Amino acid sequence: MKKLFLITAFIGGLLCACNSGDKLVYKDASASIEDRVEDLLSRMTLEEKIYQISQQCLGENDNINNNEGMNPVPLNPMIGSVIFMSEDIKVRNEFQKKAIEETRLGIPVIYGYDVIHGYRTIYPIPLAMACSWDPSMLEACTAVAAQEARQAGVDWVFAPMIDVARDARWGRIAEGSGEDPYTAAQFAVAAVKGFQGDNLTSDKKVASCLKHFVGYGASEAGRDYVYSEISDQSLWDTYLPPYEAAVKAGAQTLMSAFNDISGVPASANSYTMNTILRDMWKFDGFIVSDWGAVEQLINQGNAANPAEAALNALTAGVDMDMTDGVYIKNMEQLVADGKLDVKVIDEAVRRVLRVKFRLGLFENPYTPDVQENERILLASSKETAEKAAEETMVLLKNNNSILPLEGVKRIGLIGPMVKNQHDLLGSWLGHGHDEDVTTIMDAMTAEFPDAFINYAQGCDFDGEDKSGFNDAVRVANASDVVVLCLGEKQAWSGENASRSTILLPQIQRDLLETVAKTGKPVVLVLNNGRPLELSGMEPHTAAILEAWQPGISGGTPIAKVLNGKVNPSGKLCATFPYTSGQIPIYYNRRNPARKGTQGFYQDVTVEPMYPFGYGLSYTTYKYGTLKVSAEKVAVDGKLKAEISVTNMGKRAGKETVHWYITDPACSITRPMKELRYFEKAEIQPGETKVFTWDIDVAKDFSYVDAEGTRFLEAGDILVRVGDQTVKVVVE
Q: Catalytic residue, from 134, 224, 290, 436: name it.
A: 290
Contact 261, 228 (CB under 8 A): yes
CB nearer to ligand GLC: give 157 or 451: 157
Contacts 24+ apart (CB under 8 A), 533-538: 533/501, 533/502, 533/503, 533/576, 533/577, 533/578, 533/579, 533/580, 533/609, 534/396, 534/576, 534/609, 534/610, 535/578, 535/579, 535/609, 536/503, 536/509, 537/504, 537/509, 537/512, 538/397, 538/609
Q: Show Cβ contacts of residue 1 under 8 Å, excluding neighbours closer than 6 positions.
A: none
Partner residues linked to 544 by β-bridges? 397, 524
CB nearer to ligand GLC: give 211 or 431: 211
Shortest distance in whole angstroms from residue 555 CB to ligand GLC: 28
Shortest distance in whole angstroms from residue 497 CB to ligand GLC: 11
Q: Rounded to whole angstroms, how far apart are CA atoms 220 and 52?
A: 35
CB nearer to ligand GLC: give 70 or 91: 70
Coil, strand, or helix at residue 551? helix
Q: Rounded to whole angstroms, how far apart are CA atoms 673 and 181?
A: 12
The torsion defined by the Cα of 293, 296, 302 and 308, in degrees rounded to 10, comes to: 90
Shortest distance in whole angstroms from residue 352 CB to ligand GLC: 17
680: left (phi over 0), alpha (psi -120 to 50) or beta: beta
Contact 605, 581 (CB under 8 A): no
CB nearer to ligand GLC: give 495 or 533: 495
CB nearer to ligand GLC: give 210 or 534: 210
Q: How far is CA 615 from the centre of its chain?
A: 21
Q: Rounded to whole angstroms, how far apart are CA atoms 48 and 43?
A: 10
Identify whether 705 is a catalytic site residue: no
The torsion defined by the Cα of 497, 158, 190 and 547, in degrees rounded to 10, comes to: 30
Shortest distance in whole angstroms from residue 495 CB to ligand GLC: 5
CB nearer to ligand GLC: give 447 or 495: 495
In this structure, which amino acid lies at residue 296?
Q
Phi, psi of 321 (to 5 degrees): -95, 115
The torsion defined by the Cα of 280, 282, 286 and 291, in degrees rounded to 10, comes to: -20
Shortest distance in whole angstroms from residue 18 CB to ligand GLC: 39
Element containing residue 627 per DSSP (H, E): strand 627-628
Q: Rounded to whole angstroms, how far apart are CA atoms 74 and 206?
A: 27
CB nearer to ligand GLC: give 55 or 392: 55
CB nearer to ligand GLC: give 290 or 390: 290
Shortest distance in whole angstroms from residue 158 CB to ligand GLC: 3
Shortest distance in whole angstroms from residue 157 CB to ligand GLC: 9
Shortest distance in whole angstroms from residue 69 CB to ligand GLC: 13
The contact set with ligand GLC (CB under 6 A) reads: 63, 65-66, 114, 158, 211, 290-291, 495
Q: How far is CA 691 from the centre of its chain?
A: 28
The interaxial angle of helices 506-516 and 469-477, nearest 10 deg, is 30
Q: Catalytic residue numbers?
A: 290
